[in-house]
Amino acid sequence: MNPKPKTLAIVGYGRMGRLVEQLAPANGFEVVLKLNQGNNRNGEGLTLNALADVDAAIEFSTPEAAPSNLKRLAELKVPTVAGATGWLEHLPEVTRAVQESPSALVWSANFSIGAAVFSRLAGVAAELMRDETGYGAWAWEIHHDTKKDAPSGTLLHLVDTMRKRGYLRNIDVSSNRAGRHPGTHEIGFDSAADTITLRHVARSREGFAQGALKAAQWIIGRKGVYTFEQVLFG
């Protein structure tokens, strides 16, 4: 017999929120609350009453709305998956809210499993290249023309990963916004002798929604702030 589904709130019911809803039943969730700008302006939909029977929330709103939604969900002790991008300068205050409550949060600019593996590979490549001064590095991404933040959170995370692994020379960063691309990220190293290119191509948004639902199952029953890489690799 299948276990009873966990209850899920979707905060940010746009393209990603709708996809999460579609894939929720196959991932052991029943969606019991859906909030968008219309019913959650200034966080008015995030009440103790509305969230009383919610096991986890998945937040895919906007860079502007995400920080206050995430802090409110932390105050209400709802284990949350933070999928929106472009709000990371507020991570310290969101982390404080989660720790003070205490509650639980998993955040990532990219919930695709392939992209998490790609980020690990970028870190290894950066470490191997850190003393090879004959090589220059670049980091590039392209997304659909409605994506609000640029460079993408994923690209910023890739560059940060490369820096943390000791690659301190210039990394030339660029972005494009055009058409319907769900997201392509690339890092590369070039020298007089050769070029290395590492590229991750998202084929659809489904991988992000699947990863967010996997993180939502994982975060239930935990306390603290985690990244998706910790969910996948420990």
Ligand X SMILES: NC(=O)c1ccc[n+]([C@@H]2O[C@H](COP(=O)([O-])OP(=O)(O)OC[C@H]3O[C@@H](n4cnc5c(N)ncnc54)[C@H](OP(=O)(O)O)[C@@H]3O)[C@@H](O)[C@H]2O)c1
- Active-site entry in 6, 34, 71, 143: 143
Contact 82, 212 (CB under 8 A): no
Applying CB under 6 A, among 103, 110, 119, 161 the residue interacting with ligand X is 110
Told to judge if 147 belongs to the known catalytic residues of this protein, a careful annotator would answer yes
Would you count residue 210 as binding ligand X (CB under 6 A)?
Answer: no
What's the closest the beta carbon of residue 208 comes to ligand X, in angstroms?
4
Distances (CA, A) of 80 to 11, 17, 31, 69, 130: 10, 14, 14, 10, 36
Rounded to an integer, what distance in angstroms lies between the CA atom of residue 225 and that of residue 90? Answer: 14
Residue whose CB is less far from ligand X, 23 or 196:
23
Would you count residue 184 as binding ligand X (CB under 6 A)?
Answer: no
Residue nearest to ligand X (CB): 14
**What is the secondary structure of 158-169 as a DSSP string?**
HHHHHHHTT--S
Which of 18, 10, 74 lies closest to 39 in space, CA to CA?
Answer: 10
Binding residues for ligand X, rule CB under 6 A, total 30
The region of 106-114, 123-131, 164-172, 191-199 touching ligand X under the rule CB under 6 A is 106-114
Applying CB under 6 A, among 135, 189, 208, 218 the residue interacting with ligand X is 208
Would you count residue 84 as binding ligand X (CB under 6 A)?
Answer: yes
62 Cβ partners below 8 Å, 6+ apart? Answer: 12, 84, 86, 148
Q: Which residues are catalytic?
A: 143, 147
